[in-house]
Amino acid sequence: MLPFSQYDAHGHLRHLITLEGMTSEQVRELLDRAQRYLRRPGEIPAHGRSLAGITVGNIFTEPSTRTRSSFELAAKRLGADVLNLEIQLSSRVKGETVLDTVYTLQAMAVDVFVIRDAEPGVCQYVAEHVAPHVSVLSAGEAHLSHPTQGLLDALTILQYKGGFRDLVVAVVGDVRHSRVARSAYQVFTALEVGELRIVAPDALMPDEGEMPEAKRFKTLESGIEHADVVMMLRIQKERMAQAAIPDAHDYFARWGLTKQKLKLARPEAIVMHPGPMNREIEIASEVADGPHSVIRQQVTNGVAVRMAVLETVIENRNRRWSPPR
Ligand code: ASP
């Protein structure tokens, strides 16, 4: 069997499981397309018919607000039918049952599976088994990958900063357990961000050797100094042993981003957070709701990015595959 690839035989994106190994051209193509779906606040959101007749199945086995609803809106705004399911996949990934579930939905003509799961490997496993016309999009896989989040983060930076090469970008907090940080690392290195920093206490740093192109900083103050972009991360309690969870009060004192600390960054720095935020733990409300925050724009951009990804995989499918007559 050939090694798994998220690209089809023509090299076009079929599944989106990871941003690892993506070229800057591949990323920029998706961002360009997403930009076409952005509208000004108050304008009617972008609509289209490019997914008319297509069925998108959202299978989320971990909680989600933004990602699930934005995939749903993205699909609907392009004319697709959407099915939302809360079923367990991960505990059965090695058994037949996961495939029974997927094949059942495939028999109801689900064309795109959007999957979030706490266990590594589920998205790829499903992608390896679906019919040739079906695509799988990751909506967050364990601590490993959250590709559409990485893309929306890149889009947000592009919008506010106009490019990547001259920027200092600091990714701060629980980098170790964060799929957002891993996808951010992959997309920012593809786009050749000027200086990429990971900023975390020892216990929340990824293992040595991971994220080799990022500079490591062990205090918030040193890590955000002169930064153009400060991306704060949530502590992923669900991926830690109880004893390892830091005390909220202590964590805020050392690692919480306050207005005062933000003064160390560049005066026009933007502050990002993937949500959900733990206010007064990793970020003070005065910053989350303050003038540097672009957190709500990230959410807006998430819909545009997911429209772009859905449309791309369906367009690629239509190029390589025509339905039997
Ligand atoms: N919503 C993001 C994720 O699913 C970030 C987080 O949960 O902290 O990974």
| pLDDT in the model for residue 242 | 81
CB contact at 8 A, 34 and 301: yes
Pair (252, 316) in one structural domain: no
| pLDDT in the model for residue 98 | 76
| pLDDT in the model for residue 239 | 87
- Binding site membership of 140 for ligand 1 (Cβ less than 6 Å): yes
Give the strand order in the sheet containing 229-232: 215-217, 195-199, 168-172, 229-232, 270-272
Q: How many domains does the chain have?
A: 2
CB contact at 8 A, 317 and 131: no
Q: Global pTM?
A: 0.96
Q: Which atom of ligand 1 is nearest to the CA of 140?
A: 4
Domain coverage including residue 228: 148-294
Q: Spell out the residues 6+ positions from residue 199 whose beta carbon is closer than 8 angstroms to its own.
A: 170, 171, 172, 173, 175, 216, 217, 218, 219, 220, 222, 223, 224
Element (H, E) at 90: none
Distance 132 CA to ligand 1 centre (A): 30
Q: Is the dihedral of CA 230, 236, 240, 244 positive or negative?
A: positive
Distance 311 CA to ligand 1 centre (A): 24
Pair (85, 215) in one structural domain: no
Distance 215 CA to ligand 1 centre (A): 23
| pLDDT in the model for residue 87 | 73
Cβ burial of 315 (10 Å; 0-12, 13-18, 19+) is middle
Pair (305, 285) in one structural domain: no
Pair (237, 117) in one structural domain: no
61 lies in some domain: yes
CB contact at 8 A, 116 and 68: yes
Rg (CA), the chain: 20
Which two tokens mark 194?
Answer: 């000027």
81 lies in some domain: yes
- Binding site membership of 234 for ligand 1 (Cβ less than 6 Å): yes
Pair (252, 223) in one structural domain: yes
Distance 68 CA to ligand 1 centre (A): 12
3 lies in some domain: no
Side-chain-side CA neighbours of 100 within 13 Å: the count stands at 7
Distance 319 CA to ligand 1 centre (A): 34
From 123, 153, 178, mutation site for ligand 1 pocket: most ligand atoms within 8 A of C-beta: 178
Q: Which atom of ligand 1 is nearest to the CA of 65?
A: 1
- Binding site membership of 180 for ligand 1 (Cβ less than 6 Å): yes
Distance 7 CA to ligand 1 centre (A): 26
Alpha-carbon span 188 to 218, nearest angstrom: 21
17-27 pLDDT tens trace = 999 999 999 99
- Give the CATH number of the domain where residue 32 resides: 3.40.50.1370
Backbone phi, then psi, for 198, in 5-degree steps?
A: -115, 130
List the one residue out of 319, 317, 325 whose CA is nearest residue 131.
Answer: 317
Distance 106 CA to ligand 1 centre (A): 28
Residue type (1 letter), 38:
L
Pair (142, 54) in one structural domain: yes
| pLDDT in the model for residue 321 | 74
Give the pLDDT means over successive 10-residue stretches in the chain (325 positions).
87 97 97 97 95 96 91 98 80 63 93 93 94 97 97 98 98 97 98 98 96 98 98 92 86 97 98 97 98 98 98 95 71
Pair (112, 44) in one structural domain: yes
- Binding site membership of 274 for ligand 1 (Cβ less than 6 Å): yes
232 lies in some domain: yes
Pair (132, 152) in one structural domain: no
Cα–Cα separations (whole angstroms), residue 270 to 86, 115, 156, 313: 35, 30, 10, 31
Pair (55, 131) in one structural domain: yes
- Binding site membership of 317 for ligand 1 (Cβ less than 6 Å): no
Pair (173, 128) in one structural domain: no
Q: Determine the 3-state secondary structure of 124 from DSSP.
A: helix
